[in-house]
Amino acid sequence: MNQHRHFIIHKPLKYLSQFVNNQTKRKNKPLLGTLHDFPEGTMAIGRLDANSEGLLLLTTDGKVSEQVRSRKVEKEYYIQVDGIVTNEAISQLENGVEISVNKKKYTTLPSKVKRLDPAPTFESRTKKIRGEHHGPTSWLSIIITEGKFRQVRKMSAKVDFPTLRLIRVRIGHIQLDSLKAGEVQEVDDFGF
């Protein structure tokens, strides 16, 4: 019987959450496969867009992928937003906001949102977000159980606090912890 393999990775900024580049317009973007010698058939469980960072689970087992992507598993993101976020905006995010998914209106499920003060400390980005002269920023923790395309970014923009930096820090019980950008850790299983 073929044994499946599982990996935890800290996806760096600008990397695509894929292994094969089949689109010529993306040929200059780095792919996850360049970070480690992954076995054939490895797939990302969910995705993070090129401008997002953080925890990503990889597996050769499609059944595990379906389990993790289900609404039973929480996904937590730390986001840096433009401006000092208001209690009203936090309340709107918690209750669900209307975003566009595949050009159709969609109301997000309720989420858990809290202000992060003091701000979390992460490695500096290779590309600076913006200068401090553009005004203040704030950090939030957002916990969701769904994962629509660019959902967290769309949610924060909807309440007028656009996301400047997004880092996924948790999937279920698995934490990003001290894993550095680009680091890969193989595990026996994810425990889901």
Look at residues 159, 139, 160 and name the one whose alpha carbon lies nearest to residue 81. 139
Does the annotation count 49 as an active-site position?
yes
CB 64 within 8 A of CB 45: yes
- For residues 86 and 156, is the Cβ–Cβ distance under 8 A? no
Cα 8 from Cα 146, distance rounded (Å): 20
CA distances from 88 to 92, 108, 149, 160 (A): 6, 17, 24, 11
Nearest CA among 78, 154, 147 for reference residue 114: 78
Choice among 49, 61, 177, 188 that is catalytic = 49
Q: Encoding tokens for residue 48?
A: 């993070």
Angle at CA 176, nearest 5°, toward 174 and 181?
A: 145
Helices 87-95 and 151-158: angle between axes, nearest 10 degrees: 130
- The residues that are catalytic are 49
